[in-house]
Amino acid sequence: MMPIVTIVIPTYNRAHVIEEALLSIQGQTYTNWECIIVDDGSTDNTLEVLKGFEKKDNRFKIHTRPKNRTKGANACRNIGIEKSQGAYLVFLDSDDTLAKKCLENRIQCFDKNKNIQGLIFSTGILSDDGKTVTPFSKKIEKDLDSQAYAKMLLSYDIPWQITNPIWKREVFDNYGGFDEHMLRFQDVDLHTKLMLCGVNVKKLDDIDFYYKLEDGFEKYQDDVFISKACTAILYYIKKYLQPSHDYTLDTQERKKYLAIMFLKTIHKFIYAKKRQALFKTFLKFEKQHKLLSGKTRRLLRLLYIIDTYQLLEKKGLGFYKLEKYARNQVFNFK
């Protein structure tokens, strides 16, 4: 008998895009699925769209987040896990779509990999006419173990996104679900926890779902989004600096990779982008948790001073060479 696959979708005000995602599920060649959609309090007509699907196909199951649960996608995903009946779980965002044979292929691959707890597939970007697929997933070596993936995640070298994996139910029974306090970085946090706990995964090159880039890069210019993302990253770093006997990497080893994440975040989102208040917050965090070596800490503070007081605009005083040296030393991620 074909096992049930549960697809969990959190949604909030996505009436204009979610229909395409649901149609891609309804069109699966593998038919023994349930799709649990958890609405996070939409104020548009999302629920109306969802109920239309539920009425025509009882494999769609609509829930709303109870008021006593934390608002956000992670609580919605956890509710989906709690309500699920599937032996396998997949998480889908409301604006992404599954290839027609996605679930069929994933279950067949599990049949060939009995001891694996999670299979990681690849992402594609579908052209507007639906005829061309461009690979989107990060190219990584095959047959890496969970510890290698944990090191990648901790150092902000993200190997996959939320829908790439299909998980055996036992993973969530044994290790729990999503951290409902995470405002952003939610899938990275879950995957980090699972990899640090030694969950056995296998990466495959098959592209079986499609990611939509809708305003995907514009949000990185938005100060409110960046502030929330950086707050989440500091929460993440603090979380994985805590001692734990459950993890395959000890605290000092994790700290080494988290320091890379810390500096990558400053480099990508903060330095030379007129976000001095965020820069100052990161420096205070580093002073408290001592992530960096003494030399790197001093050079980072120098960059903060140069950035804050716009010293590169003062010509002929040697600040350009000094800044270049400090930047190359601090943001060297090899």
| Domain ranges within the chain, ordered by starting residue | 5-210, 218-330
Phi then psi for residue 65, to 5 deg, are -65, 125
pLDDT tens track for 13-40: 999 999 999 999 999 999 999 999 999 9
pLDDT value of residue 143: 77
CATH architecture of 5-210: Alpha-Beta Complex (3.90)
pLDDT value of residue 125: 82
Measure the CA–CA gap between 333 and 3, rounded to whole angstroms: 44
Measure the CA–CA gap between 64 and 41, rounded to whole angstroms: 7
The answer to whether the CB of 35 falls within 8 A of the CB of 62 is: no
pLDDT value of residue 57: 97
| Vertex 328: Cα angle to 323 and 332 (nearest 5) | 150
Q: What is the pTM of this model?
A: 0.92
CA 220 to chain centre: 15
pLDDT value of residue 1: 76
pLDDT tens track for 268-283: 999 988 899 999 999 9
17: which 2 tokens?
Answer: 């895009």
- Name the stretches of the chain with pLDDT < 70: 127-133, 135-139, 141-142, 213-220, 334
272: which 2 tokens?
Answer: 């030379």
Nearest CA to 92 among 31, 38, 13? 38
Phi then psi for residue 14, to 5 deg, are -120, 30
Phi then psi for residue 280, to 5 deg, are -60, -40
pLDDT value of residue 123: 87
The answer to whether the CB of 333 falls within 8 A of the CB of 259 is: no
Measure the CA–CA gap between 241 and 256, rounded to whole angstroms: 10
Q: Under DSSP, is residue 290 helix (H, G, I), strand (E, B) or coil?
A: coil
The answer to whether the CB of 119 falls within 8 A of the CB of 165 is: yes
